[in-house]
Structure 1
Amino acid sequence: MKAVILAAGYGTRLNRDLQNDSSGHFKHLCGIPKPLLPVGNKALISHWMSAIEKIDCIDEVYVITNDLYYVKFEEWAKEFQLVKVLNDGTRSNEERLGAVACLQLAITQFNINDHVLVLGGDTLFYEDFSLSVVLARFTELQSINCDNNLVLSYLCKDEAETTKFGILETDEEFQVTAFKEKPNSTETTSRRANSPLEEKDAPGHYLLWVYSRKPVFVHHVSGRFDVGNLPSYIDCTKYFQRHGDE
């Protein structure tokens, strides 16, 4: 199995927050790509590497970033034997390829013909998350049908959140039967949140394409941190300070 970590974003909202922060406590983070931000005693993306290095079936990790941050990721990657860094060639947010195109670039560039674990480089899950449990479930699904896929989702915190995310509807076997884009809570009984569809950074588009062609099953996680702005970064760091750097 190969792991692809998507890390080619420019963090425009976060950098804007950092530049406008009146406290002065976070100015030193300006210009650091989100996956390399310190969370506890290591970079955010290094939390993923700590989990990946415990999984024997993952033999290579491809991190795709942009030309602006390529050198920073190359320096970070020296610590990890499994990691190869790919430069997508862009240097601004307006040029960015987006999540799906970056994934395709990695698959093409490295000629990947294997199962692929796709991770967002600016996302971490709560402490009860276990990568080994997720991969065990994937292996189980593959033993039933080699076309089966597995996606992570979590339950909305309240009714209003359905309008913020893509919502997955599933059957009794937790197979995805529909994907609704930011529906009103009255339009669906499901509260299983997933990435919303956006113009470029759109893993939801890929999921929408896949589930209509291949079986996609849901694995529940209790929650996640998607570091997109300063408040979400602060929440993430506080959480891992409380719960340790697992």
Structure 2
Amino acid sequence: MKALILAAGYATRLYPLTKDRPKPLLPIGGRALIDYLVDQLETLDELDGIAVVTNHRFADHFRDWAHSRQARLPLEVLDDGTDTPENRLGAIGDAAWTIRMLGLDEPLLIAAADNIFPFSFRDFAAFAAKKGTDCLSCYRLDDPERLKRTGIVAVSPEGRVLRFEEKSPQPWSDLSVPPVYLYQRETLPLFEEYLAGGNNPDAPGHFVPWLLARRPVHAFRFEGPVMDIGTPQSYAAACRAFESKAGTSRTAPPHAQETQEGRF
């Protein structure tokens, strides 16, 4: 199994914090945001390599980070060649590009670099292995406004995904889907087929409804919440959560001021 970390965005909503630094390398709790994700990936016995796909503007930043980190697994930084938000490939475009560039032909765990996930990746991988299908994860979120900014899902009693929608303007489910997915090797060629059909290349969840018409998908349930670092407010909230947990006096950068919207 390989893992792909999606880190090619430009995080314009976080300017000026991310004007000259990629969002996944912002400090939280004394570490880079992306470090928490790599820690979780390194718990997977079946994983034999991690790829981080980023853009040309920030590729050297990630190479410096990867060089400084003593990773348990091979850690490769890939530059997708884009250099502005206007010519970005999108999350699904980057996934398809990476699959093609690396010639991947094995299960692939795909996760966004700007989230901190509160569940065991070992349990998630074991669930996917038991089902033998593509899998996503979900948790109950009692916040209608936040549900509008995430994927939502309907699930059968057996855990099979019945319906999925990315960023619904009128959420019809309170099961939120964070951006972490585990795809079987047979699914990987379908990324190119999806894009060839002119479908949305951006948020990774857009791929799921299209996939449901072709392959079964199951949902791994966990207890939330997920820390999604998308705005200065949510970044400040994450920093404060880690400060409270560690009992430290570290503060978020001055541009990251917490508001009610940013609390978890």
Greater Cα shift, 57-66 or 206-215: 206-215
* Code of the aligned partner of 1:74: R
Given that 1:195 and 1:203 are in contact with CA atoms closer than 8 Å, whether structure 2 keeps it comes out as no
Going from structure 1 to structure 2, the CA distance change for 1:177 and 1:183 (only over 3 Å counts) comes to farther
**Corresponding position of 2:228:** 226
**Corresponding position of 2:170:** 184
Superposed, which structure 2 residues align to 1:73-222 within 5 Å?
A: 73-78=62-67, 79=69, 80=71, 81-126=73-118, 129-142=119-132, 148-181=133-166, 182=168, 184=170, 188=172, 190-194=173-177, 200-221=201-222, 222=224
* Code of the aligned partner of 2:161: V
* Code of the aligned partner of 1:192: L
Greater Cα shift, 159-168 or 72-81: 159-168
Task: Give how far 1:195 is off.
Answer: 6.1
1:95-148 deviations in whole A, cap 9, x for unaligned? Answer: 11100000011111111100000010111123xx11111111111112xxxxx1
Task: Give how far 1:206 is off.
Answer: 0.8
Runs of 5+ in structure 2 lacking a partner?
180-198, 247-264
* Code of the aligned partner of 2:121: L
Q: Secondary structure at the match of 1:97?
A: coil
Given that 2:37 and 2:117 are in contact with CA atoms closer than 8 Å, whether structure 1 keeps it comes out as no
Given that 1:167 and 1:183 are in contact with CA atoms closer than 8 Å, whether structure 2 keeps it comes out as no
Identity of aligned residues (%): 33
In 2, distance between residues paired with 1:203 and 1:15? Answer: 23
Task: Give how far 1:204 is off.
Answer: 1.7
In 1, distance between residues paired with 2:241 and 2:78? Answer: 30
Going from structure 1 to structure 2, the CA distance change for 1:167 and 1:67 (only over 3 Å counts) comes to same
Equivalenced residues, count: 222
Runs of 5+ in structure 1 lacking a partner?
19-28, 143-147
In 1, distance between residues paired with 2:55 and 2:144? Answer: 37
Q: TM-score, normalised by structure 2?
A: 0.78
Superposed, which structure 2 residues align to 1:30-69 within 5 Å?
A: 30-69=19-58
